[in-house]
């Protein structure tokens, strides 16, 4: 793919960062509400893996989907992580401050003929597990004529090894898609290891296709267990599943909550109270963390 120099420089810098530090991890919450215990568990796993490996750990705020953002979450996420002692390296990375970069990548993909305009609605695609290629051959000008924006999809080779369809890189509402932003960010910041919840396993085929289209090596991906509420529903920020507020109201301190999270992960017996440093020295070997790749 043809790529302007400033984008190549970014990739190059990402490579150098990777090589220099060996391990660079990140936690990337969306500021759509308060972190619940499932999010905190993922943050803890990601932090533990990074620190066990003597690596760096970054906080990235995935705030591109502005209608879903809750302004107060940005500070709450940071203060909750700090209350537990989950300190990140450097400044938090706000995706909203990187729009120019994502747009440059998008233009580059477009100029290289790697993306096409798609007019399929969610309804058109209901029941399709993989995008059936409906708009691949349609002339790109239709969006103007229809007076609305198309979404833009990456043209992914059929029968690709990842099992992905054509990935949406810019949504029909004009927002940069999560898949594009996350891949660009892992590459530019030299992330070597991505730890997230099992629910994001579904995002892997699309992301692997994007790495392949950019000719870049993906980071290692790890997935941790999810937490469910009493009705068997996955905890959700938007549904306001209980976070640290409730714990604090009940008089619980960080040592209690860390013990509770670590016990949920099978790392310590139930009822243990301990600091993050104590937990880190207990764990020592990252391969004992309940993560699957
Ligand atoms: N921002 C995404 C979320 O909170 C996670 C992104 C990621 O870890 O790749 O679900």
Q: How far is the CA of 78 from the centre of ligand 1 (A)?
A: 15
- Low-confidence stretches of the chain (pLDDT < 50) are none
Q: What is the pLDDT of residue 104?
A: 96
Q: What are phi and psi of 281, to 5 degrees?
A: -75, -25
Nearest CA to ligand 1 atom 8: 28
Q: What is the pLDDT of residue 143?
A: 59
Residue 182 CA: nearest ligand 1 atom is 9
Q: How far is the CA of 206 from the centre of ligand 1 (A)?
A: 14
Q: What is the pLDDT of residue 232?
A: 79
> What is the signed CA dihedral for 228, 274, 256, 262, rounded to 10 degrees?
0
Would you tell me how many other CB atoms lie within 10 Å of the CB of residue 240?
12
Task: State pLDDT tens for residues 152-181.
Answer: 999 999 999 999 999 999 999 999 999 999
Q: What is the pLDDT of residue 271?
A: 95
Nearest CA to ligand 1 atom 4: 29
- Domains of the chain, each with CATH number or no CATH: 9-97+181-288 (3.40.50.620)
Cβ of 196 closer than 6 Å to ligand 1, yes or no, is: yes
Sign of CA dihedral 189, 116, 157, 165: positive
Distance CA 58, CA 262 (A): 21
Q: What is the pLDDT of residue 236?
A: 73
For the chain, counts of helices (H) and of strands (E): 10, 8
Phi/psi class of residue 175: alpha, beta or left (left: φ > 0; alpha: ψ in -120 to 50)?
A: beta
Task: State pLDDT tens for residues 246-261.
Answer: 899 999 999 999 999 9
Pocket test of ligand 1: the residue of 62, 73, 204, 206 to mutate, having most ligand atoms within 8 Å of its CB, is: 62
Task: Name the 3-class secondary structure at 149.
Answer: coil
Q: Which residues pair with 220 in a beta bridge?
A: 193
Whole-model pTM: value is: 0.94
Cβ of 93 closer than 6 Å to ligand 1, yes or no, is: no
Cβ of 29 closer than 6 Å to ligand 1, yes or no, is: yes
- Whose tokens are 């990842």? That residue is 162
Instruction: Report yes or no: 155 and 131 within 8 Å, Cβ to Cβ.
Output: no
């Amino acid at each position: 793919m043809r790529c302007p120099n400033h984008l190549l420089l970014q990739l190059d810098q990402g490579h150098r960062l990777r090589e220099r530090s060996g391990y660079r991890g990140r936690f990337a919450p969306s500021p759509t509400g308060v972190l619940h215990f499932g999010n905190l568990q993922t943050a803890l796993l990601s932090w533990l893996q990074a620190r066990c490996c003597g690596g760096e750990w970054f906080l990235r705020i995935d705030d591109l989907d502005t209608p879903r953002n809750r302004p107060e979450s940005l500070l709450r996420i940071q203060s909750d992580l700090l209350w537990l002692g989950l300190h990140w390296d450097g400044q938090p990375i706000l995706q909203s401050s990187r729009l120019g970069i994502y747009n440059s990548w998008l233009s580059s993909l477009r100029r290289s003929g790697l993306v096409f305009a798609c007019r399929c609605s969610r309804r058109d695609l209901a029941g399709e597990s993989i995008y059936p290629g409906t708009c691949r051959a349609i002339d790109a000008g239709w969006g103007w004529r229809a007076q609305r924006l198309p979404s833009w999809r990456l043209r992914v080779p059929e029968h690709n090894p990842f099992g992905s369809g054509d990935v949406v890189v810019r949504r029909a509402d004009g927002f940069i898609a999560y898949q594009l932003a996350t891949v660009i960010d892992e590459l530019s910041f030299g992330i070597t290891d991505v730890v997230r919840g099992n629910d994001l396993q579904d995002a892997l085929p699309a992301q692997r296709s994007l790495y392949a289209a950019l000719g870049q090596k993906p980071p290692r991906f790890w997935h941790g267990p999810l937490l469910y509420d009493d009705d068997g529903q996955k905890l959700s920020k938007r549904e306001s599943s209980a976070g640290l507020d409730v714990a604090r109201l009940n008089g619980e301190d960080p040592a209690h909550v860390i013990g509770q999270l670590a016990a949920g992960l099978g790392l310590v017996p139930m009822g243990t109270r301990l600091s993050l440093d104590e937990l880190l020295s207990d764990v020592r070997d990252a391969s004992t963390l309940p993560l699957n790749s």
